[in-house]
Chains A and B, each alone.
Chain A
Amino acid sequence: PDDAPPKDEL
């Protein structure tokens, strides 16, 4: 799908 999401959350 679209761009990879940010992985700054836990």
Chain B
Amino acid sequence: MNIFRFAGDMTHLLSIIVLLLKINATKSCAGVSLKTQELYLLVFVTRYLDLLYSYISLYNTFMKLFFICSSGCVIWYIREHKTVSQTYDSAQDTFRVLFLACPCMILALTVNHDFTVTEVLWTFSIYLEAVAILPQLVLLQRTKNVDTLTGNYVFLLGGYRALYLLNWIYRILTEPGYRQWIVWISGTIQTAIYCDFFYYYIKSWRNNERLSLPS
């Protein structure tokens, strides 16, 4: 594992901790998209099915379990927690997730490395992760004055993707024969989706203003 991969994973971990802290400390999930969180849970469950039959390292196993449990925990807060659930604004969080999940499944059934259940589901999770942030970005755009922690959460998630790009470049340069086109192309699209957000996040930070995305 190289430093970019590790930094990427830690940024991902930190983004989730920031999100959980925000929800727990403010007892509010204002500005957080339940749709995106549900898509992430679907991404993690379909990708980490290999927990049941293959072992890479204790590190990987721990991180996989953490990602599954933490997204389940966020969903539980938004749907079930007595006070937090009251702050969820379902009228704003209206993205049609089937418009994301169905094309990803069709693409996974068509473009994959092996036509087996686990390989297709793994490929589906790669495609779906690339677009799972969209309901969250749409919700931020509808929210005037995004709260700082929610903004930081999305910024860290985007940062994690950018670090993974560096990780792949490093691996291409150092590991002969290493290639994974499906992951690279999806990951590049995923990172590109954040460009616009990064621009406004950095601008608001430099001007010391609350983040708000133009609609």
Say if the beta carbon of B50 comes within 8 Å of chain A.
yes
Say if the beta carbon of B180 comes within 8 Å of chain A.
yes
Say if the beta carbon of B99 comes within 8 Å of chain A.
no
Which residues of B (103-136) have their CB < 8 Å from a CB of A?
111-114, 119, 122
The answer to whether B178 touches A6 (Cβ under 8 A) is: yes
The answer to whether B9 touches A10 (Cβ under 8 A) is: yes
Contact A4:B5 (CB < 8 A) given known A10-B60, A10-B63, A10-B64 = no
Main secondary structure of the interface of A (DSSP, over half): loop
Residue among A3, A4, A6, A7 having the largest count of chain B Cβ atoms under 10 Å: A7
Q: Which residue in B56, B114, B164 is a CB contact (below 8 Å) of A8? A: B56
Main secondary structure of the interface of B (DSSP, over half): helix
The answer to whether B113 touches A4 (Cβ under 8 A) is: yes
| A residues in contact (CB < 8 Å) with B | 1-10
Which residues of B (41-64) have their CB < 8 Å from a CB of A?
50, 54, 56, 60, 63-64
Q: Which residues of B contact A5 (CB under 8 A)?
A: 113, 179-183
Residue among A6, A8, A9 having the largest count of chain B Cβ atoms under 10 Å: A9
Closest to B67 in A: A10
The CA-CA distance from A7 to B12 in the complex, in Å, is 18
Q: How does the 8 Å CB contact mask read for B179-215 relative to A, with 1 for contact and 0 for none?
A: 1111100000000000000000000000000000000
